[in-house]
Amino acid sequence: MIYHIRYLCVFFIICGISLSVLGCGIRKGPEPNASLEDVMAQDSETKQDVKAINDRLFASVKSAPNVKDYILAEGDLLQVSVFEAQELKTEIRVGARGFISLPLLGTVEVKGLTAYEAEQTIEELYRNKRFVKNPHVNIFVKEQVAGKITLLGALKKPGTFPYLTRQNLFESLALAEGLSDTAGKIVQVRRASMDSDRPYTFLIDLNDLANGSGEELNIEIKGGDVIYVPEAGMVYVDGAVRKPGTYPIKRKMNVVEAIVAAGGFAPYAESDSIKLVRSRGSKEPDIVQLSFKDLQRQDSSYSVQVKDRDIIFVETNRTEALIYGLQISGLGGIVGVGYRPPPAQ
């Protein structure tokens, strides 16, 4: 009897020491500072952010482009007429280097000019060479071969659109009817370069444009550009989960689905103590305490959708962690009690 009591005492002593060590070794999540209602309200603010960007880009859109604003590009078939000299009328295609060949003038560079600007340039050349006293030139685009832009990603109507006139980023995004509700705020503009294997890529923060700052970011879009709006982004899951790490946010992913993506709860998880940390830009982040039981309820108010840069932290249950780590073995009548801590969080 004394023998059993002795080892039982040793067992409890080791448990006490283990609990003490465990308390020092387990990382605690951040302290809550917001309610679930705060988080849901911020979801609404995010949709308002997208709406603000869409409102701004639609407000910046000009009226329908005039045919004279069309940007000439290689491959376009032009009909060039001089009203005062019909014999100078010609039909010519813009060459690969951007030139056309005209009677009496030879080669004239027109690539990158609007149809109106090209008319003025040709008029000036005929005038300076005194071939025509007061020429009036008309350019009619019979075939538009080049001059298209492609809009991809989280847009309401992505696709390929004619590049009819000079336009900036916002005007181009308006062609696709603006951002979708799941759009991220960083836009990529890819542009061909002399080295076709390494195109130029511009990264532009739409939040700055929507706030009225960084107007220089509303860059001019050129024919052939590809504009890509990625969906908002990544969620980080940490704490007592099987595979802590960063995971892509799938469409309408909620907190429970993010935890599942991280392998689910570890055996020692405190499932009713989940912290959601949500960035608020330059402000302090919102930290809200969530319960797995509440998150499983059918009530939609508890189905919290994760957002780009969210952090989900699952707390550790110290008792469960102790039980998980305890090792009891018997060999030759000798009882051994040890402790193996859970994986570092």
What is the domain extent for residue 321? 25-49+233-339
Q: Are residues 328 and 238 in the same domain?
A: yes
Q: Is residue 17 part of a domain?
A: no
Domain count, the chain: 3
Q: Are residues 218 and 242 in the same domain?
A: no
Widest pairwise Cα distance in the chain: 125
Q: Which of 328, 175, 330, 155 is nearest to 228 (CA)?
A: 155
Domain end point (choices 199, 229, 259): 229
Q: Which of 284, 299, 290, 279 is nearest to 42 (CA)?
A: 279
Q: Name residue, tokens 């991220």.
A: 184
Q: Is the pLDDT of residue 93 over 90?
A: yes
Q: Is residue 86 part of a domain?
A: yes
What proportion of the chain, given as a percentage, has pLDDT over 70? 70
pLDDT of residue 122: 94
What are the phi and psi torsion angles at 274 (to 5°)?
Answer: -115, 130
Q: Is the pLDDT of residue 262 over 70?
A: yes
Q: Are residues 252 and 322 in the same domain?
A: yes
Q: Name residue, tokens 């992505």.
A: 158
Domain end point (choices 191, 214, 229): 229
User: Domain of 251: which CATH number?
Assistant: 3.10.560.10
Q: Is residue 19 part of a domain?
A: no
Q: Is residue 6 part of a domain?
A: no
Q: Are residues 152 and 137 in the same domain?
A: no
Least confident of 168-182, 193-207, 211-225: 193-207
The two tokens of residue 270 are: 């405190």
Least confident of 99-103, 159-163, 305-309: 305-309
User: Domain of 78: which CATH number?
Assistant: 3.30.1950.10
Q: Are residues 106 and 157 in the same domain?
A: no
Q: Is the pLDDT of residue 22 over 60?
A: no
Mean pLDDT of 114-118: 91
Q: Are residues 157 and 77 in the same domain?
A: no
pLDDT of residue 284: 77
- d(CA 158, CA 179) in angstroms, rounded, equals 10
Q: Is residue 162 part of a domain?
A: yes
Q: Are residues 334 and 264 in the same domain?
A: yes
Q: Is residue 317 part of a domain?
A: yes
Q: Name residue, tokens 């340039």.
A: 121
Q: Are residues 239 and 332 in the same domain?
A: yes
- d(CA 307, CA 288) in angstroms, rounded, equals 14
Q: Is the pLDDT of residue 334 over 50?
A: no
Q: Are residues 260 and 220 in the same domain?
A: no
- d(CA 283, CA 199) in angstroms, rounded, equals 36
Q: Is residue 218 part of a domain?
A: yes
Domain end point (choices 229, 258, 290): 229
pLDDT of residue 330: 42
Q: Are residues 251 and 334 in the same domain?
A: yes
pLDDT of residue 118: 94
- d(CA 228, CA 171) in angstroms, rounded, equals 14
